[in-house]
Amino acid sequence: MDRLRQALAGISWEVVFVDDDSKDGTIDFIRRLALRDHRIRGIRRIGRRGLAGACMEGILSSSAPIVAVMDADLQHDERRLAEMLAILKSGEADLVVATRFDDGGGANGGLSRIRHLGSRLAIRLAQTLLGVVLADPMSGFFMTRREIVERVAPRLSQHGFKILLDIVASSPAAIRTEEVPFTFPPRLHGESKLDASVVTEYLGLVVAKASGDLISARFLLFGLVGFCGVIVHLTVLYLLLRQELSFVVAQTGAMLGAMLFNFTLNNALTYRDRRRRGWRFVTGLILFASLCSVGVIAGVGVSAALYQDSPQWWLDGIAGALVGALWNYVTNSAITWRAH
């Protein structure tokens, strides 16, 4: 906090820490600080997780006309805040991004070689598919006018990590932007949250925005898991038939294996913010199996009816699969992984 006070000397400010109910005493420490400095506030989120949602709640809880998003792990240079504020106040831009990949910036100290290459690939993907012109749309350190966030808030994802990219890609009108360089230092405490689920969430966000939000990131992940489940089903069926089991037994085993695979992967990736653990994992699997069974019946019924009217097996098969997928997604989102 001393570094923040020094960087913002002479500037009226407040800081809002958003904590997803961590068990390390973070929110208690913040509240002790808040008792000594009224400019410090803390928000404890119960039953909700995700960086994007946390950023949104922090921003919308404030009445400040200008808001900044930055990590609390000291990897974002607070000394750039005054410069970013000056640019916004000058009227030159409505969004200022602290970039690691422009002249004067750097990320080699704070990113491993693999993460550095991954960030570069993610940036190129966003620039190519979404037409983003920022040098570092993956940055988690930026400042903007609160009215910009208010305008796009209903269209933003609550689950991704790249809130900046989501804001820029969701805005119906182009946002005037400027970038200031900063050096991304090594992490002092804690561990990076980057894992396979974050990567899949990012790809889902890109596809969602590229499709004009017709395809949600969650539905895309659900569909990808289902596609992988088909491969698992066929693989298990083949292996069981090789053991000279009857087709009925082999098909039953393959269906159960694919269903367990789909549920486990959806629980870990697609619905990671609503993840079921312990006994709830078992009850969730039962719900998932029950609902998906109805989806199979619905899909078969639709495809059979279409085939009688116009026998095009591949088109009718796709129609049935889509009906089943939509049923499974909608019902499991509302029941198996319903929001708390």
Name the DSSP class of 275: -
pLDDT of res. 206 = 79
Asked whether the predicted pLDDT for residue 329 surpasses 50, the reply is: yes
Tokens 């969430």 belong to 201
Confidence band of 159 (pLDDT split at 50, 70, 90): low
Report the pLDDT averaged over residues 63-87: 91
Report the pLDDT averaged over residues 118-142: 82
Percent residues over pLDDT 70 in the chain: 86
Q: Are 66 and 88 in contact (CB under 8 A)?
A: yes
Beta pairing class for 40-44 and 142-145: unpaired
pLDDT: which is higher, 163 or 50: 163
Which candidate, 321, 312, 310, 164, places its Cα nearest to that of 230? 321
Q: Are 222 and 270 in contact (CB under 8 A)?
A: yes
pLDDT: which is higher, 106 or 135: 135
pLDDT of res. 280 = 93
Return d(Cα 224, Cα 124) in angstroms, integer.
23
pLDDT of res. 93 = 94
In the chain the first and final C-alpha atoms are separated, in Å, by 34
Confidence band of 110 (pLDDT split at 50, 70, 90): very low
Asked whether the predicted pLDDT for residue 302 surpasses 50, the reply is: yes
Asked whether the predicted pLDDT for residue 84 surpasses 80, the reply is: yes
Q: How far is CA 332 from CA 17, 27, 278, in A?
A: 33, 33, 18
Asked whether the predicted pLDDT for residue 108 surpasses 70, the reply is: no
What tokens were used for 237?
């069926």
The partner residues of 219 in beta bridges, in order of sequence, read none
Confidence band of 122 (pLDDT split at 50, 70, 90): confident
Kindly report which listed range (95-104, 135-144, 146-155) carries the lowest average pLDDT score. 95-104
3-state per-residue secondary structure call for 87-102: HHHHCCCCEEEEECCC
- What is the C-alpha radius of gyration for the chain, rounded to an integer number of angstroms? 24
Beta pairing class for 95-99 and 177-181: parallel
pLDDT of res. 175 = 92
Return d(Cα 335, Cα 184) in angstroms, integer.
42
pLDDT: which is higher, 333 or 185: 333
Report the pLDDT averaged over residues 92-110: 72
Report the pLDDT averaged over residues 35-41: 93
The partner residues of 145 in beta bridges, in order of sequence, read 66
Confidence band of 115 (pLDDT split at 50, 70, 90): low
What tokens were used for 211?
């499709």
pLDDT tens, 254-288? 888 888 999 999 998 888 878 899 999 999 999 99
The one-letter amino acid at 188: L
The whole-chain average pLDDT of the chain stands at 83
pLDDT tens, 161-181? 678 888 998 888 889 999 998
Asked whether the predicted pLDDT for residue 68 surpasses 90, the reply is: yes
Please list, in sequence order, all residues whose beta carbon lies within 8 angstroms of the beta carbon of residue 302, skipping any fewer than 6 positions away: 319, 320, 323
Q: Is the dihedral of CA 132, 135, 139, 144 positive or negative?
A: negative
Asked whether the predicted pLDDT for residue 160 surpasses 80, the reply is: no
Which candidate, 182, 166, 179, 165, places its Cα nearest to that of 92? 179
Q: Where are the beta strands (DSSP E) in 15-123?
A: 15-19, 40-44, 66-69, 95-99
Confidence band of 102 (pLDDT split at 50, 70, 90): low
pLDDT of res. 288 = 93
pLDDT: which is higher, 93 or 155: 93
